[in-house]
Amino acid sequence: MNDAVSVAKNILSGKVSAVEVTQAALSKIPTKDNELNCFTDIAVETALQDAAHIDQNIAKGKSPRVLAGVPFAVKNSFNKYNRT
């Protein structure tokens, strides 16, 4: 279950929740970021709230968008900690 489409299908089918997938992704950041130094801001609360909302909608029978629940990272266009 590594590619985005498979993750999305597993969330929609109920094999795994969006919250579980998000928690798994968030748990990998501290170990990988020490080596890669690629995260400046991590929106943990927002990510978990959004995932819970997706799970609630699926439970109500509402069909979310195709990749709903699939975690992703966005590259900042600037580094707020090092403005030279």
pLDDT digits (tens, 9 = 90+) for 58-84: 999 998 888 999 998 887 766 666 555
Which whole number is the average pLDDT over 43-56? 96
How far is it, in rounded angstroms, from Cα 8 to Cα 21?
Answer: 10
* 9-48 pLDDT tens trace: 999 999 999 999 999 999 999 988 888 888 888 899 999 9
Nearest of 42, 50, 43 to residue 21 by alpha carbon? 50
b/e per residue 30-49 (b: at least 16 CB within 10 A): eeeeeeeeeeeeeeeeebee
